[in-house]
Amino acid sequence: MIKEKNKIKDLTQGKISKQIITLAAPIIGTSFIHVVYSFTDMAWIGRLGSREIAAVGVVAVLVWLTSSIGSIVKVGSEVCVAQGLGAHNEELARSYAKHNSTLAFYFSLGIMVLCQLFAHKIIALYALEDDISTMAEHYLQIVSLGFPFFFLSLCYGGIYTAAGRSNVPFAINSLGLITNILLDPLFIFVLDYGVEGAAWATVLSEFLVFSVFFYRIKIKEQLLGKWGIAGRLHYKETKKILTLGLPVALLNSLFALITLTMGSIASRTGGHIGVATINTGGQLEAITWNTSQGFGTALAAFVGQNYAARKYKRIFKAFKVCIIFTSIFGLIATFLYYFWGEEFFALIVPDPEAYTEGGNYLRIAAYSQLFMMAEITIQGLFYGTGRSVTPASISIAGNLLRIPLAFLFLSWGWQLNGVWWAISLTSMLKGTIAIATLPYIKGKIKLLSNSTSE
């Protein structure tokens, strides 16, 4: 396979720390862009009031659930395409790219139809006041129109990451962010569309991101040659993508559903303040979550190429680099959330009652940041080798534990703090167990190593 310098980067050679940082930085930037996407909507809508924040916050969790399903094609692109490139088999990499794109199209279309038909029943799970529920329903129906664009963009971004060119998704998503920032005040305030205006701004921004991705990957560069958005699915490729992606999707989907349940518990305990706190607090906590996710994604792509090329020592060195960087970020976040949580929250929601409770949320969350970042980074090591069941099982079990813990703490009279502690303590538990699995995955990698590497 001929690798053109401006198209595909070979991650099986060269200085490891430089490659990881070069690969991870744009991915982290892209992750932050998605956080800022949400912040932009929340910040503008926060000026309308806490009731509007609650409405959008409810849908934000549902969009999270949708993106969790999209992780099938995201991880499938990042790992399967990377392994094809690492094995110097561009035809195989192209086949996986086509299959991931096809799955992205069909999955997103199905979810969009479900949201259009059952928005009322979905929002009713929160048992919110009628006016908030109505706003949330309309927001969901509009924002779901952008799901096909969002899913295909996840797929295309994953392909570029697998090719070692994570800077491309960063640049394209940055363009989408700028567009969203400009459209939000126009649609929300100037045109007076309110909450619905924020939804339309998001859809148009996602369409722009998809359009630029399509032009770059299909027309300008023809990365991996010619292949269609959707085509015939073959059993072997589809099975591998689903085998790798479904545990991740199940993990992320259950996480979103559990967050939905925790939001419902918070709503019944603290009303719309509870909903606004758990959703906006989650958005702020996503700063550290997305940083570690960025390193985990970079590690998965790096491991994918080197695992297929049988260069196992490079895998261990790359993992060490990622752990060092995520630990540094985790310590900084712990300090900031603990001492300035209320101030951060007030930037998004100026309601004193909301940002006071938000400060409590972030102070409690501060204790778990290092554990959470370790868990997510270790997931990247597993994913890159094609093993997603173990980290998914750890996360699913830990997340499920949040619900009974929350009810237990509420029975002790802890009120909303009981919900926040249930989230934080289970994050610590998951991180601890993930660290305990390191000897297992390292042993598996060493067992398969039969070649000398750098």
pLDDT in tens, 324-380: 999 998 999 999 999 998 888 888 777 788 888 889 999 999 999 999 999 999 998
Q: What confidence score (pLDDT) does residue 37 get?
A: 67
Whether 451 has a pLDDT exceeding 70, the answer reads no
Both tokens assigned to 286: 């996503």
Count of beta carbons in the 10 Å neighbourhood of residue 447 = 9
Asked if residue 55 has pLDDT above 60, the reply is: yes
Whether the predicted pLDDT of 430 surpasses 70: yes
Domain range for 411 is 16-448
Encode pLDDT of 108-165 as tens digits: 999 999 999 998 888 887 777 888 888 999 999 999 999 999 999 999 998 888 888 8
Is residue 44 assigned to a domain? yes
Top-confidence residue, 119 or 204: 204
Q: Which of residues 221 and 211 earns the better pLDDT score?
A: 211
| Confidence (pLDDT) at 32 | 75
CA atoms within 13 A on the CB side of 381: 30
Encoded amino acid at 418, one letter: G
Structure tokens, 30 = 């892209």
Highest mean pLDDT range out of 35-49, 382-396, 406-420? 406-420
- Is 2 within the bounds of a domain? no
Position 7 in a domain: no
Give residue-wise pLDDT tens across range 370-406: 999 999 999 989 988 888 889 989 999 999 999 999 9
Exposed / middle / buried, residue 32 (Cβ in 10 Å: 0-12, 13-18, 19+): buried
Q: Tell me, rounded to whole angstroms, the distance of Cα 208 from its chain centroid.
A: 20
The percentage of residues in the chain with a pLDDT greater than 70, rounded to a whole number, is 95
Instruction: Tell me the pLDDT band of 91, cut-offs 50, 70 and 90.
Output: confident
Q: How many CB atoms lie within 10 A of CB 334?
A: 18
Report d(CA 302, CA 290) in Å as an integer.
18
Determine, yes or no, domain membership for 178.
Answer: yes
Q: Is the residue at 164 inside a domain?
A: yes
Residue 1 in any domain: the answer is no
**Per-residue pLDDT, 448:** 63
- Helix, strand and coil percent figures for the chain, each rounded to 5: 85, 0, 15
Is 6's pLDDT higher than 50? no
**Under 8 Å between Cβ of 374 and 434:** yes
The structural domain count of the chain equals 1
| pLDDT of 453 above 50 | no
User: Per-residue pLDDT for 4 more than 50?
Assistant: no
> Does 99 map to a domain?
yes
| pLDDT reading at 310 higher than 60 | yes
pLDDT at 423: 95
Q: What is the mean pLDDT of residues 420-433?
A: 96
Take residue 308 and report the two structure tokens written for it.
């297929």
Average pLDDT, the chain: 86
Categorize the per-residue pLDDT at 3 as very low, low, confident or very high, splitting at 50, 70 and 90.
very low
